[in-house]
Structure 1
Amino acid sequence: MPPVPGISHDHLLVLLMQIGALLILATGLGRLALRLGLPAVVGELLAGILVGPSLLGNAAPDLSNWLLPRNPEQMHLLGAISQLGVLLLVGLTGAHIDLGLLSRKRVAIGWVSAGSVLLPLALGIGLGFLLPASVMGEDGDRPTFALFIGVAIAVSALPVIAKTLMDMKLLHRNVGQVIIGAAAVSDILGWLLLSIVSAMATAGFRLGVVAESVGYLLIVLAVTVFLARPLIGRLLRPIERSTNPGELGIAAVVVLIVLSAAGTHALKMEPILGAFLCGIIIGSLGPGSRRFLEALRPFVMAILAPLFLATAGLQVDLSALKDPSVLGAGLITLAVAVGAKLVGGYAGARLGKLNHDESLAIGAGLNARGVVEIVLASVGLSIGVLNTASYTIVVLVAVVTSVMAPPLLRRTTSRIAQTTTEIERERDYAAAQPVAK
């Protein structure tokens, strides 16, 4: 068998230029966004939009065609790198989930989760049946498209919410802990439902396909709880006790996340689901195992995540909003997304015996969709459920809700007095933080 030809000189040159240009823009605009009080994800996504069809494609088409050629082989190289970034980012997100918190606050979190997920999911599915056919992907039928819109509206972004609460010093507050717990449940349900949507997109909407997908999901969850968790624990604990665990531990968690993603992908579910569940397992094993993921965080957050977000921005075409039907669909989708999450979170919190101000804060905090929504949009585009117009709409919902959440949360929590327990928790939390470098 003859050897496989290596990557050509031109393909390698374009790939390196793509990575360099996107990272420069994503890092710079991400820093600028932070200075303006916005999530970094806004600037990082904007980097891709600027060099994509929305701006560079119109202003300098020749340069755009060279840097971003329509050659699938070339773009797949960049896509493969960003896919690794997505898997590691989602694995880190899974490690944020505190299973002990979910258990301790299960009554309040249960009601808030039910309200903030079920109402947006139902309204989103209904909206998906009403949106014009011009925003549907070529490979998705109406039920699959409607379910995807429901999932996109129902999710929250745990990483963005967690960082927002930490920045605003609300993580120790009761309302902050309920928001984090409900966002965790929202993420888990979102990735599970996304796997069903993905299976429906490839095999069509049939009860047998849905039943098969649900069966696979139950198998994956059972394997995760009863087999994967003890096996991963047995693998990582000897590494923790070794003389030089750092490099070996980082390599181990990367391998585990990638292989977990491969496992769910082999079952025709989204690889993101496997990465997310693996992150939950590693995070639940204790601080030793979690430390390996935390060591990986700087590279993922500084390099791979901005590169993925910039690559996601390349698919956004703001010129699609010139079409009145697309613009109208976008505004309606945004209104439904914000209103459903706010009302659902508020109603769930009230049923969970929380007061008016706390309930408003929970509805506001859960509205941020951030990077989770962008990952969902990228999956929807790749499996053909979304087209460029609907992808642009979903990404804009992610950006707008992430920008809206912090000021809304600040305004609603300003009226909630701290309890003695919260003050003690804040003191304990501050004492547990590492000394500033």
Structure 2
Amino acid sequence: MTASIHQTEQLLFTVLLQLIVMIGAARLMHSLFRRMGQPGVVGEIVAGLLLGPSLFGHFFPGASLALFGAKPEPAITILSQIGLILLMFQIGSEFEYGRLRLPRLRQTTLFVAATSILAPFAVGFGIGRLSAATLAPGIDPLVYSLFCGVAVAITAVPILGRILKEYGLTQTDVGIIAISAAAVNDVVGWVLLACISAFATAQLSGQYLLTHLGGLLVFIFALRFLAAPLADRLVARFPVRDGHIPPNLLAILLAIMFALAICTYALGIFAIFGGFAAGLLFHRHRALVEAWHNQVGQFVLVFFLPIFFTFTGLRTNLLGLTSGPELFWLAAVCLAAIAAKVVPVYLAGRANGLPHRDSMMLGTLMNTRALMELIVLNIGYDLGFLPKSMFTILVVMAVVTTVMTGPILRALLASAPNPATRRAQA
């Protein structure tokens, strides 16, 4: 009994020490990157990388092993996943369908969403096929290539939303199209990821498709016709007052998102997508969404996200990319991923009547990957279909494509005294 208590206390001590380091490093880098004109979350991602073998583990291997161990503690792993479920709820709740009420915006959004998925997926798949023999020997080249395709195709909704707010673009045509297309992009990306994972684990049979697609349809039907009215009644029964969520409603919200996470896990679409589905149920209740953001959302961003970023950083060794082929593929993946997003989206914008600069801004915004990319990469890595070298290359690509967004937007916005980005009008 005494030994068990001692082990529990030791584990608690280790996890608490890890949390102090992770949260402190994330806040420090957040502030630093904000001063550099970058989204703070990019600094938090970099903090996670620096705590891994790319810096801390390289120069202080003994201290790194003592602090983080040979691999992340199960408690840290679970905390990171819970944090992602809560974050996905926030992302889903902040998506406003009403922004797409204008037909011209709907049409452009669909064009942009399609091009931002199809072209990058094809390019990523091609990269996978060409690099499989060099970077992924022993892994099924088809599965590896499919994962590369999804990784290149994804766009990061939460980071994109922050960038739009920072540059005052949330109510412009470009901002509305970008955030809406990114939401479609992410949903399609998750579905593709689920299908590829099923295929990779030899489960993608006719019976599997029938069972899981049927289950998915039932799930969507239940959300729309059962859960959505229930959500409306819950908000009416426990109204938000003075910007605060009643404790009973908060408890019910947590239970709903965790229950839906269990459902989506059972459907093979990953547990974190359940949080997104729960967010969609409550997106119409703006007072609740705002209260969640102020009351819970900040805690999620400050406490949980650094855990996930460090979890990713401990798996990423930038110093491990030393061979000529690896460095070649690092440059090739970054260049190809940027071109595959920016060029097709720019052309889609122009084809739908957007000015040159608006189309360039749209392509730049859709090139933002960051957080969602890291989630996809960790899934592929955990399933064993992304080797460490390509995992690291794609992490670097996610950071590069996100860091470049701010400077390009500033240059485009400063290129003329009267920006062409128009405010959406009914």
Aligned residue-pair number = 419
Deviation at 1:203?
A: 3.0
Match in the other structure for 1:126: 126
Deviation at 1:51?
A: 2.5
Distance in structure 2 (CA, Å) of the matches to 1:402 and 1:245: 33
Distance in structure 1 (CA, Å) of the matches to 2:97 and 2:149: 26
CA change 1:300–1:392 in 2 (3 A) is same
1:79 matched to 2:80: no
Match in the other structure for 1:435: none
Match in the other structure for 2:339: 339
Distance in structure 2 (CA, Å) of the matches to 1:415 and 1:220: 48
1:35 matched to 2:44: no
Q: What letter corresponds to residue 102 of structure 1 in structure 2? A: L
The 5 Å alignment of 1:206-355 reads 209=208, 213-240=212-239, 245-283=245-283, 285-294=284-293, 295-355=295-355
Match in the other structure for 1:110: 110
Q: What letter corresponds to residue 392 of structure 1 in structure 2? A: T
Structure-2-length-normalised TM-score: 0.90
The answer (yes or no) to whether the contact 1:249–1:292 under 8 Å persists in 2 is no
1:99 matched to 2:97: yes
Match in the other structure for 1:8: 8
CA change 1:40–1:421 in 2 (3 A) is closer
Q: What letter corresponds to residue 267 of structure 1 in structure 2? A: L
Q: What letter corresponds to residue 118 of structure 1 in structure 2? A: L
Percent identical among aligned pairs is 31
Match in the other structure for 1:411: 411
CA change 1:17–1:245 in 2 (3 A) is closer
Distance in structure 2 (CA, Å) of the matches to 1:194 and 1:204: 13
**Deviations for 1:134-172, whole angstroms, at most 9, x for unmatched residues?**
53497x632222222111111111111111121111222
Distance in structure 2 (CA, Å) of the matches to 1:252 and 1:357: 45
**Deviations for 1:103-126, whole angstroms, at most 9, x for unmatched residues?**
432111111111122111122122
The answer (yes or no) to whether the contact 2:154–2:369 under 8 Å persists in 1 is yes
Match in the other structure for 1:431: none
The answer (yes or no) to whether the contact 2:195–2:204 under 8 Å persists in 1 is no
Query: What is the alpha-carbon root mean square deviation over aligned residues?
Result: 2.7
Distance in structure 2 (CA, Å) of the matches to 1:273 and 1:424: 32
Deviation at 1:223?
A: 2.9
CA change 1:424–1:202 in 2 (3 A) is closer
Deviation at 1:10?
A: 2.4
Q: What letter corresponds to residue 423 of structure 2 in structure 1? A: E
Match in the other structure for 1:422: 423
Q: What letter corresponds to residue 148 of structure 1 in structure 2? A: F
Structure-1-length-normalised TM-score: 0.87
CA change 1:358–1:242 in 2 (3 A) is closer
SS at match of 1:299: helix
The answer (yes or no) to whether the contact 1:157–1:187 under 8 Å persists in 2 is yes
Q: What letter corresponds to residue 69 of structure 2 in structure 1? A: P
Distance in structure 1 (CA, Å) of the matches to 2:333 and 2:420: 38
CA change 1:17–1:133 in 2 (3 A) is farther
Distance in structure 2 (CA, Å) of the matches to 1:122 and 1:423: 32
SS at match of 1:240: coil
Q: What letter corresponds to residue 82 of structure 1 in structure 2? A: S
Deviation at 1:319?
A: 2.3
The answer (yes or no) to whether the contact 1:198–1:269 under 8 Å persists in 2 is no
Distance in structure 2 (CA, Å) of the matches to 1:377 and 1:264: 19
Deviation at 1:325?
A: 1.9
Distance in structure 1 (CA, Å) of the matches to 2:397 and 2:331: 9
1:157 matched to 2:170: no
Match in the other structure for 1:430: none
CA change 1:322–1:249 in 2 (3 A) is same
CA change 1:343–1:377 in 2 (3 A) is same
Deviation at 1:340?
A: 0.6
Q: What letter corresponds to residue 403 of structure 1 in structure 2? A: V
CA change 1:136–1:234 in 2 (3 A) is farther
The answer (yes or no) to whether the contact 2:49–2:314 under 8 Å persists in 1 is yes
**Deviations for 1:310-357, whole angstroms, at most 9, x for unmatched residues?**
222111111221122222222211111100100111121122222222
The answer (yes or no) to whether the contact 1:381–1:387 under 8 Å persists in 2 is yes
Unpaired runs of at least 5, structure 2: none
**Deviations for 1:63-82, whole angstroms, at most 9, x for unmatched residues?**
121112126xx611111111
The 5 Å alignment of 1:15-30 reads 15-30=15-30
The answer (yes or no) to whether the contact 2:238–2:249 under 8 Å persists in 1 is yes
Distance in structure 1 (CA, Å) of the matches to 2:403 and 2:90: 22
The answer (yes or no) to whether the contact 2:358–2:421 under 8 Å persists in 1 is no
SS at match of 1:53: coil
Deviation at 1:42?
A: 2.5
CA change 1:286–1:325 in 2 (3 A) is same
